[in-house]
Amino acid sequence: METRVVFHIDFDYFYAQCEEIRSPELKSKPVCVCVFSDRGGDSGAIATANYTARKYGVKSGIPITFAKKRLEERHDAVFLPVDFDFYSEISEKAMEIMKSNADIFEYVGKDEAYLDVTQRVEGNFERASHLAQQIKNSIRDKIKISCSVGISPNKLISKIASDFQKPDGLTVVPPNRIEEFLESLKIRVIPGIGKKTEARFLEMNLETIQDLKKLDIFTLNKEFGRKNGAYIFNASRGIDDELVKEREASIQYSRITTLKKDSKDYEFLSENILELCKEVHSIIKKNNRMFRSVGIHFVQSDLSNKSKSKMLKNPTESIEELQKSVIQLLKEALENQTITVRRLGVKVSELSEIQGQRDITSYF
């Protein structure tokens, strides 16, 4: 394969930075963006925090009560509820700028994307670095968002590189620097390696990627299976052939089926709709997504349409929650239903990527 030039761009402390855009006075304060749970009060978790709050040990995923304790001495600390719609709006604008600067644009999630720019920089890493600086400036000037960029010949190294100097980073790893760049890094920077896998390597006294390279492919295969073993072996050597694939933010996933018979019977329809939920859920899983909006759709026997949808409080990947919402919508839709249903559909939208460290054993 000819040498490619791949960018990974990731917005810094994204939700919290969005909050700073609409209220610039927040910039000097610790800012925590919270997902409050249904239980009320301070129950719930931190979605993200700005770098001032991170200095006090606040990070994604910890309970809101912990964050408040850690920030006790900061009377100016601010705790805000998530506002996904606002963050999506900002994300879309920034994605437009990236898209217009890429040969191939791959959307990953609200705050990150891969760009293949090989052609427009003619494979030249110096020119790539200038292009990245221009994109960063443009996003800062027009949208007031700072981001971190990793540049290398593949997605794997670029992803690691974008995280290397955060916030507002730009890390260029040309082909001849891959080895020295990786060697001193901790094994856990490899995407897919979570706490559990890291712990197993630590037991073997392996901490850095340089240490990891001591393991041969047979040992890795035995420990992690063929597929994961090969992945780890290649990743520690900076090898990754995954192409940047054209992908826009996907709007929704849906499945529709023609029923065996036209019906308005709750039992019959619920049985079918729960089956559709399973299919939609497997698409969600395959794409590593969470959803926040759930909808159902009827094509009725006179071919007229009827649909209903609801917005969940928080994004989720749970099939139970999907089925519960769908059943609720079905019951609502069947109240005073006179005509029978011919085709039945389920859709989810308001999609986002699944966050947080994934363990390699559950990742593949």
**Would you call the peptide bond into 167 cis, given omega within 30 degrees of 0 as the criterion?**
yes
Calculate the alpha carbon distances from 220 to 202, 210, 223, 233 in Å: 14, 15, 5, 7
Measured from the CB atom, is 11 or 298 closer to ligand DGT? 11
Structure tokens at 59: 């990070």
Residues 6+ apart with CB under 8 A from 355: 60, 109
Q: Rule CB under 6 A: which of 110-149 touch ligand DGT?
A: 111
Contacted entry of ligand DGT, Ca ion, none for residue 41, CB cut-off 5 to 8 Å set by kind: none
| DSSP-derived 3-state class of residue 264 | coil
Of 12-20, 114-122, 150-158, 208-216, the window that binds ligand DGT (rule: CB under 6 A) is: 12-20
> Which residue among 19, 106, 112, 350 is the active-site one?
112
State in angstroms the smallest separation of the CB of 129 from ligand DGT.
Answer: 21
List residues bridging with 125 in a β-sheet.
Answer: none
With respect to Ca ion, which residue has the nearer C-beta, 96 or 163? 163
SS3 23: coil
The region of 4-12, 70-78, 203-211, 252-260 touching ligand DGT under the rule CB under 6 A is 4-12
Q: Enter the tokens of residue 104.
A: 């191939």
User: Based on CB atoms, which residue is closest to ligand DGT, 300 or 349?
Assistant: 349
From CA 228, how far away is CA 220, in angstroms rounded? 8
By CB under 5 A, is residue 111 in contact with Ca ion?
yes
Which does residue 81 bind out of ligand DGT, Ca ion, none, counting CB within 5 to 8 angstroms by kind? none
Amino acid at 15: Y
CA 261 to CA 263: how far, in whole Å?
6
Taking CB under 6 A as the criterion, which residues in 158-197 touch ligand DGT? Answer: 166-167
Nearer to ligand DGT, 13 or 56 (CB): 13
Query: Does the annotation mark 207 as catalytic?
Result: no
Pairing of strands 6-11, 44-49: unpaired
Burial code (b: 16+ CB inside 10 Å, e: under 16) for 133-143 equals: eebbeebeeeb
Stretch that binds ligand DGT, among 45-53, 236-244, 276-284, 326-334 (CB under 6 A): 45-53
6, 7, 8, 10: residue in contact with Ca ion (rule CB under 5 A): 10
Active-site annotation, residues:
112
Note the residues at the interface with ligand DGT (CB under 6 A): 10-15, 35, 45, 47-48, 60-61, 111, 166-167, 355-356
